[in-house]
Chain A
Amino acid sequence: MTTAIPAEAARPARTPRPTTTPPRRRPRRHRPSAWAYAAPALLVYTGFLVYPALQSVYLSLTSWDGITPDKEFVGLDNYRHLADDPVIGTAVRNNLLWTLVTILLPMLLGLALALALNSRLVRGRSFLRTVFYAPAVLPLVSVATIWGWLYNPTDGAINEALTTLGLEALTHAWLGDDSTALWATMVPAVWVRTGFPLLLYLAALQGIPRELHESAAMDGANAWQRFRHVTLPGLRPTNHIVLALSLIESFKVFDLIYALTYGGPGRSTQVLGTWMYFNVFQYYQSGYGAAIAVVITLVAVFVGIPYVLSQTKD
């Protein structure tokens, strides 16, 4: 004989409902205040970003020379021309190389320096932190001027140093040779951009609880294992931020290339940013230049989405 269990008893006990009344939603008439908060920023954003951006998209569909009042609509011709333009191929290749190198190297160097500066073994950490971050505050035109002197083929410090060290065979016209010019422009970029990840990584390292390292050590983890299983996971959010921001920054490269090589020798160091500039401002092909700008923007937005999403999530 079975005993019937009352249905009520078979159910797990419910979490008792809170006795306090839930907060009432605000009356709808209060909502416009949110728009009032946002209005100044929205106006500025719309006037100085959205409108010019839409205007650029429109220009990219015209054959406007940048001077004539008339703008002839040509549809997608400018975008089709991207495929025929031999310099675009060079620029895209250069952009990809530049992006790869100027993201990875500063990240790795920044992390290595942050680890060193976070160690108690290193003395004068504040001073060194300032030294390593200093290049990041220099205007890029100044950086280009400095490195232009360093790279001077006849009396620049780099070739002079190589000669002094007995490595004269390695002296080279770094910026004057198609095969080395782009790489030579990356060196100052890495020099300038290492400070940013350094600071972020240093802050992140200082946010990892010391107890985690201590308990891992008590469990027998060696230095590499502690780095691999404690430090690196703790840096994951910082990696996302550094990577996303660096990616956008690298893809928009303009200043250093413009000031160091002007896209040369020939057109060997042209990137999308400089080629856009040349077309809009030098060749009177504003429509075509706008098409390049739209492509750069789309890539930057596409790349920036993960960053924005991660920020929203946080």
Chain B
Amino acid sequence: MTMDRRRFLSGAAALAAALGTAGGLTACGGGRLQASPDRLSLFTYLDATQAPLLDQVLDSFRDESGITVRHDTLPGSGAALFPDKVRTQLLGARPPDLFMMWGGQIAAPFIDAGQIAALDEVYARHGWDELLNPAAVRDMTFDGHRYGLPGVIANLGCWYRTDLFERAGVSVPTSYDELEDVCDRIVASGVVPLATGGVYGWDPMRLFEYLLEITAGPELHDRLLVGEASWDRAEVRDAFGLFRKWVERKWVPEGFLGITPDVADSYLTQGTGAFLITGQWQEYTNNASGLDPELFGTFVLPTGHDVVRTSGWTEGFFLSKASPNGENAARLFDFLLTPPAQETFAGFRTPLTDLAPDPGELPLNARWLELGRRHPHYVIQDQAFPKDVSDAYFQIQSDIAQDNVSPRDAAARMQDAVTTWKEGQVR
């Protein structure tokens, strides 16, 4: 069959018109969601090591309940990118029923926008408050309402190289003064004490919030994080002063502001950095490095307060308010909190208060499960603040590190940022 020019053009125009019409119809038809008795959709950021574990749990749930959960994951997106992907999905034609998200101010915009369903009734029905770590429940609570089911807890502590400590002739510090002495002696041994990378800001922030916990103490620190106390005060200036001291004394890598966190993390396995302030996932990296596990240790950073707290956060499962499958979601949530499901998926980062998984190849994780229950966590700073306030803080942190600003001015600038946030005018 031959095709002349006119026929070709007519066909092309018709095809284009059909595509346009189809696109319009698709866009128009996506607005209404229908309940599905045996299906749920879940969107997470779990990577190749974690996603299969959750999939195992979801398979068990399907076998027990007959409900199939379609699990889509966007590994590696992290807290900087994943919320935007969720936002796009929620505004699209087929939002997921459930999604994972970090607590604090990362989930808060979605709650403020009315995109997440409250779970108060489900919590009460299943008695979850009795089962869960109170800090995890607090991280999922907004304006007095439970909005998410805690999935995993992260606690930040010091993860160090035992051989480098030994070479420097130091042991695990039990006070902040001892930690400073440890750092000096590690520098003298030719190694960087704290490997931290300043690109993105959040890695050195872990040092500052630790210093602020020391100078401000738990009660004031918590009030600072919610903007109820002024940052323009002596305790904050002292913390900025200590931060500057860590830079001047070379307790962090020179030029750390230009290093990415993943490069800084590699200092530990390469033996050029003595310790990191990081979480339980570090043990997987240690094991993957092929080095003797005995070369690694971990401890809670000493603060000198009666209640020694760590930095931490909770990652949870949230129910989209637009989802018509709330009951199925509640069944899945309850299933996720069963001990077998927790052992498979959350392991040592479980939010359950009485689970004790077998240490196996993760003895340091097992230790942190116990430490995390003993030491409550304050909300990590970049989840306590909205992103724009966190970035304002990161700029101040950068200026302190470069000696562009005094601790006094840094504290005042930080208060300005918090004030603007509280006034709802931060851009």
Residues on A lying within 8 angstroms of B by beta carbon are 33, 36-37, 39-40, 43, 47, 65-68, 81, 85, 148-149, 151-155, 172-178, 181, 184, 261-262, 264-268, 278-279, 281-285, 288
User: Is A266 a contact partner of B398 (Cβ separation < 8 A)?
Assistant: yes
Chain A residues whose C-beta falls within 8 Å of the C-beta of B356 in the assembled complex: none
Give the distance to chain B from A274, nearest Cβ to Cβ, in Å.
11
User: Is A284 a contact partner of B258 (Cβ separation < 8 A)?
Assistant: no
- A283 to B426: give the CA distance in the assembly, Å: 9
Q: Mark B254-290, 1 if CB is under 8 A from A, else 0.
A: 1111111001000000001000000000000000000
- A285 to B263: give the CA distance in the assembly, Å: 31
Chain B residues whose C-beta falls within 8 Å of the C-beta of A262 in the assembled complex: 199-201
| Chain B minimum-CB-distance residue to A30 | B6
- A149 to B263: give the CA distance in the assembly, Å: 8
User: Is B391 a contact partner of A267 (Cβ separation < 8 A)?
Assistant: yes
Closest 3 CB pairs of A and B: A173-B255, A153-B255, A175-B258
- A213 to B110: give the CA distance in the assembly, Å: 69
| Chain B minimum-CB-distance residue to A70 | B113
B394-427 at interface with A (beta carbon < 8 Å):
394-399, 401-402, 404, 426-427
Q: Mark B384-399, 1 if CB is under 8 A from A, else 0.
A: 0011100100111111
- A95 to B253: give the CA distance in the assembly, Å: 30
- A194 to B145: give the CA distance in the assembly, Å: 57
Chain B residues whose C-beta falls within 8 Å of the C-beta of A68 in the assembled complex: 112-114
Chain A residues whose C-beta falls within 8 Å of the C-beta of B386 in the assembled complex: 283-284
- A262 to B203: give the CA distance in the assembly, Å: 14
User: Is B402 a contact partner of A67 (Cβ separation < 8 A)?
Assistant: no
Which of B87, B115, B198, B272 makes the CB contact (< 8 A) with A264? B198
- A43 to B18: give the CA distance in the assembly, Å: 11
User: Is A43 a contact partner of B20 (Cβ separation < 8 A)?
Assistant: yes
Given the known interface contacts A43-B20, A177-B257, the answer about A264 and B199 at a Cβ–Cβ threshold of 8 Å is: yes
Q: Mark B101-114, 1 if CB is under 8 A from A, else 0.
A: 00000000110111
Q: Can you list 25 A-B contacts (CB < 8 A)?
A: A33-B6, A36-B9, A43-B16, A65-B109, A68-B112, A68-B114, A149-B263, A153-B256, A154-B192, A173-B257, A175-B258, A176-B257, A177-B257, A177-B258, A178-B404, A181-B258, A184-B258, A262-B201, A265-B258, A265-B402, A266-B399, A268-B398, A279-B427, A281-B84, A282-B84
Give the distance to chain B from A90, nearest Cβ to Cβ, in Å.
10
Chain A residues whose C-beta falls within 8 Å of the C-beta of B48 in the assembled complex: none
Give the distance to chain A from B121, nearest Cβ to Cβ, in Å.
24
B167-200 at interface with A (beta carbon < 8 Å):
192, 198-200
- A149 to B264: give the CA distance in the assembly, Å: 11
- A111 to B113: give the CA distance in the assembly, Å: 54
Chain B residues whose C-beta falls within 8 Å of the C-beta of A37 in the assembled complex: 9
- A177 to B398: give the CA distance in the assembly, Å: 9
| Chain B minimum-CB-distance residue to A88 | B427
User: Is A67 a contact partner of B253 (Cβ separation < 8 A)?
Assistant: no
- Cβ of B34 within 8 Å of any chain A Cβ, yes or no, is no
- Cβ of B90 within 8 Å of any chain A Cβ, yes or no, is yes
Chain B residues whose C-beta falls within 8 Å of the C-beta of A152 in the assembled complex: 258-259, 263
Which of A40, A267, A281, A283 makes the CB contact (< 8 A) with B395? A267
Which of A67, A155, A172, A261 makes the CB contact (< 8 A) with B199? A261
Chain B residues whose C-beta falls within 8 Å of the C-beta of A281 in the assembled complex: 81, 84
- Cβ of B363 within 8 Å of any chain A Cβ, yes or no, is no
User: Is A47 a contact partner of B20 (Cβ separation < 8 A)?
Assistant: yes
Chain B residues whose C-beta falls within 8 Å of the C-beta of A288 in the assembled complex: 427
User: Is B113 a contact partner of A67 (Cβ separation < 8 A)?
Assistant: yes
- Cβ of B91 within 8 Å of any chain A Cβ, yes or no, is yes
Chain A residues whose C-beta falls within 8 Å of the C-beta of B192 in the assembled complex: 154
Give the distance to chain A from B3, nearest Cβ to Cβ, in Å.
14
Q: How large is the interface on B (under 10, 10 to 19, 20 to 34, 35 or more residues)?
A: 35 or more
| Interchain pairs with CB closer than 8 A, number | 134
Chain A residues whose C-beta falls within 8 Å of the C-beta of B388 in the assembled complex: 282-283, 285
User: Is B20 a contact partner of A264 (Cβ separation < 8 A)?
Assistant: no
What does DSSP make chain A's interface, helix, strand, loop or mixed? loop
Give 9 A-B pairs besides A65-B109, A265-B258, A267-B395 with Cβ atoms closer than 8 angstroms: A40-B12, A40-B15, A152-B263, A154-B255, A173-B257, A175-B257, A176-B256, A176-B259, A283-B387
Chain A residues whose C-beta falls within 8 Å of the C-beta of B112 in the assembled complex: 68
- Cβ of B35 within 8 Å of any chain A Cβ, yes or no, is no
Chain B residues whose C-beta falls within 8 Å of the C-beta of A154 in the assembled complex: 192, 253-255, 259, 272
User: Is B387 a contact partner of A39 (Cβ separation < 8 A)?
Assistant: no
User: Is A36 a contact partner of B13 (Cβ separation < 8 A)?
Assistant: yes
- A66 to B109: give the CA distance in the assembly, Å: 10
Chain B residues whose C-beta falls within 8 Å of the C-beta of A66 in the assembled complex: 87
Give the distance to chain B from A175, nearest Cβ to Cβ, in Å.
3
- A174 to B260: give the CA distance in the assembly, Å: 13
User: Is B12 a contact partner of A36 (Cβ separation < 8 A)?
Assistant: yes
| Chain B minimum-CB-distance residue to A149 | B263
User: Is A284 a contact partner of B200 (Cβ separation < 8 A)?
Assistant: no
Give the distance to chain A from B179, nearest Cβ to Cβ, in Å.
22
Chain A residues whose C-beta falls within 8 Å of the C-beta of B90 in the assembled complex: 67
Give the distance to chain A from B187, nearest Cβ to Cβ, in Å.
13
- Cβ of B23 within 8 Å of any chain A Cβ, yes or no, is yes
- Cβ of B80 within 8 Å of any chain A Cβ, yes or no, is yes
Which of B19, B110, B387 makes the CB contact (< 8 A) with A67? B110
Chain B residues whose C-beta falls within 8 Å of the C-beta of A268 in the assembled complex: 398
User: Is A266 a contact partner of B394 (Cβ separation < 8 A)?
Assistant: yes
Given the known interface contacts A154-B272, A173-B254, the answer about A65 and B113 at a Cβ–Cβ threshold of 8 Å is: yes
Given the known interface contacts A47-B23, A178-B404, A288-B427, the answer about A39 and B254 at a Cβ–Cβ threshold of 8 Å is: no
| Chain B minimum-CB-distance residue to A35 | B13
Give the distance to chain A from B149, nearest Cβ to Cβ, in Å.
21
Given the known interface contacts A36-B9, A40-B16, A68-B113, the answer about A153 and B258 at a Cβ–Cβ threshold of 8 Å is: yes
Chain B residues whose C-beta falls within 8 Å of the C-beta of A264 in the assembled complex: 198-201, 257, 394-395, 398
- Cβ of B49 within 8 Å of any chain A Cβ, yes or no, is no
Which of B80, B115, B198, B260 makes the CB contact (< 8 A) with A265? B198
Chain A residues whose C-beta falls within 8 Å of the C-beta of B263 in the assembled complex: 148-149, 152
| Chain A minimum-CB-distance residue to B81 | A281
